[in-house]
Amino acid sequence: MTEFDTVLVVDFGAQYAQLIARRVREAHVYSEIVPHTMAVEEMAARRPKGIIFSGGPKSVHVEGAPSPDPAVYGIGVPVLGICYGAQLVAQQLGGEVARTGRGEYGRTVLQALPGSTLLADLPLEQDVWMSHFDAIMAAPPGFRVTARTQEAPVAALEDPERRVYGVQFHPEVAHTPRGGEILHNFLFAICGCTPDWTPGHFIEHEVERIRTLVGPAQRAICGLSGGVDSAVAAALVHRAIGDRLTCIFVDHGSRSTWSTSRRPTAS
């Protein structure tokens, strides 16, 4: 999808990455989820407009905790760290992340400070959704603290010069009522994305890619269980090559509304 602005969502092992990618796409910006092990050179080669670090289930203090190559901060692409991702930003760039023994879970009142780029045009006091145990106690050199909560002295931080930002809370969840606006600020005010991508573009791209991959005369088979993933895959392949697709029903033991028909119904 190189013809569209792209935001990379770096996955640190939690379901949050999927939701972040969805929120970005709902803003009509194309997003891709990539592993934290991806080389910085490969990230840069994709020419992203922005990079988002997802949350994760581990502590940054655990041995072997997933982390990106610190060189990612030097490729000239805006970075937004969310929850665990924000703690990585703080730790890797010289701040302090501590095990305070006082986590925050659920609805929390955020106290923002004036002048933030990421939190621009938002109320100085707002509800956010927290899910963390460690806390950022001190921002790295060059960063400004832009929000705090009762248990998190650094609930948001930013370095506009390097275009690196972090939030301890989760703007991607519905329980952060103004979270969509925060993501919009990052995507459009900071990254300069153009909101011109839609799911229809993905369908068109994949259909053409499948036609090229299969060729003009070859046939294809598709394992079809009745789940969302295999059903969508079958529909895309059928749209691309029509009757040259044969679906094989795979009964993995769960209930399914699909029959063992050779062809899926493609809308």
Among 36, 172, 184, 191, the active-site one is 172
Name the phi and psi angles at 19, rounded to 5.
Answer: -70, -40
Q: Which two tokens stand for residue 235?
A: 């529909």
Residue length of the chain: 267
Residue 61 among the catalytic residues: no
Half-sphere exposure of 103 (CA within 13 A, CB side): 11
Q: Which two tokens stand for residue 3?
A: 């013809």
Strand blocks (E) in the chain: 6-11, 30-35, 50-53, 79-82, 96-98, 104-112, 125-132, 135-138, 144-148, 156-159, 164-167, 220-224, 245-249
CA distances to 44, 45, 153 from 112, rounded to whole Å, are 32, 36, 11
Q: How far apart are CA 161 and CA 73, in angstroms?
A: 12
Nearest CA to 36 out of 7, 69, 58 is that of: 69
Among 36, 104, 158, 170, the active-site one is 170
Residue 83 among the catalytic residues: yes
Q: How far apart are CA 191 and CA 164, in angstroms?
A: 11
Among 83, 193, 222, 247, the active-site one is 83
Q: How far apart are CA 110 and CA 100, in angstroms?
A: 18
Strand partners, 34: 10
Q: Is 215 left (phi over 0), alpha (psi -120 to 50) or beta?
A: left
The percent of the chain in helix, strand and coil, each rounded to the nearest 5, is: 30, 25, 45
Catalytic residues: 83, 170, 172
